Structure 1
């Protein structure tokens, strides 16, 4: 069975790929990087990442571009063998993959997304009124090989590893002896007592404090992408399994999923299998499950770049108001060289598309976020509140 693990890379794609590979126990893997997201497909046997292939096929046909202009995501369903295979695509990235023996159950998990049904003999018996598309052509099928999962790398020859480690160890020892010899040749007057250093000299310069603050905060873009990932899955919870909301606690998003009296364990377990990449972040406590989605800290790009506060602050507030958010400025702090402004933002009902728009807005600005709260008000809308801080030069 194919599994899909995905995370936003926040400018550290290689690190994120290593992180995903460490979580997957499958020997055959395929990695896809699209925009700010990294997807890892894993399987216990040879295969192809057909979902990524379909993403490119739909894009080449012009179908995906048309749907991205609207608020709905896209789900493509095709029959292979005895199973219906589904792929959920949102904002140009594969978000979920799942299979089912029954078409209506497979389609039900697509939620409110627009469904493309690939024409086939099995599809002729489908009564649902979903948009049908022609099956892949021979030319399109010929590209499948490009998406093949690769086996794990062969281990290095033991002798070669030992030699390599020995050479490295010898180099380290030689470097250590050289440094010690150099230190012994220096005059005694070059040694300085750390206790004699004035406290004033240890104070961070203004821009040093700017970098430190941005290193310790959580990017608003990161939080929004995590919220988008979480709400996309939580909106598809099975019947009688509910969540009261999603909250940010520092560099982590948390949510509690509760079982109602009529909730079926078998249905829940099937949902977990269909959302296996998401279930990695769920812990089980009887009839209650807790989501803990870690978020990367810091704004790496903006630690070495500065955006002027004006007119960025006005553009940010105007964009929020235009989208229907209530944004009230709560603080304005400044030093000799840089400034920060904080807003409290609320909305009575946002969709996944609007969360994605927020993430895109925050991606081009040095903005941090805290105290995010999302509560479901309808199957696909959430009330929202958060605090954001914009950083910029005077």
Structure 2
């Protein structure tokens, strides 16, 4: 039986020729396809079939721009992803290894008869059933046996002439470059969201620190609350009547807060461990940032320094929020709003004013799908 899941690699055609790709990924049996600006190569040490290419051809007239297909293969599943008529992924994996985000962002997820389409695991996705390929449909994508070059005695003179010509013109084969395989389309997005500091959770922690500062002993008042790296820090200054013993005793009663006491100040720190990891398995449309900005404007925030940064799949909007007289209740309202958006925080500065108000500055980033 042929190998229906040969090794698959895809790279930009502008950087590598078919010959270079073949040298980098040799095999007894292979098939290289050039389509658009991409080179796709399938390699196997035994006779095989590029089933991914057969499926692409079979569905190209009816399939949307971005689609996936799942088929059972023994105890694993065959997964493939196509974008712009190019096979981006074709591999065997377990059901648990299927990437939820890739499936959610696909315009269609095709399931063969070997997959139970009624399984609840498929409910979040746009599922379509597809009939299995016939032998006639896939046999045209059989891998070709690689041929080693042979030199015959009768061609010795010609070979010497060619060698001399190459030496005289001093031409050399271009060095074989390391092929950079196309990574998972959403890998960068997932990594970004898993490392981004949650704006909502940061606001929650800022509320906690600000409330603690208000309960500080007499003679110790909040000077500023800031974000430093991944640490939220509240710095309290000692007034003329502030007692170090009171500050030390009070800080020792605080749970989950690091305290640093000096003769003139008390610094409280909270690590911001909550990231936007929950968003790594889903993506919000970039247009939803309009409703976010409108809501913030209605809540009295001033928006400035807006900057959009688009890429192939995602688009970010960075901006600055300011309020001259923010209350903690207004910060709590911001927390509630930010909770439903993929909103990260990079800068926070809160400086106390009179009557429990604060001058607040936040630098935020919204990350969404570039539709």
**TM-score, normalization by structure 1:** 0.47
Q: Which structure dedicates a bigger proportion of its chain to helix?
A: 1
**TM-score, normalization by structure 2:** 0.49
Greater CA radius of gyration, 1 or 2? 2
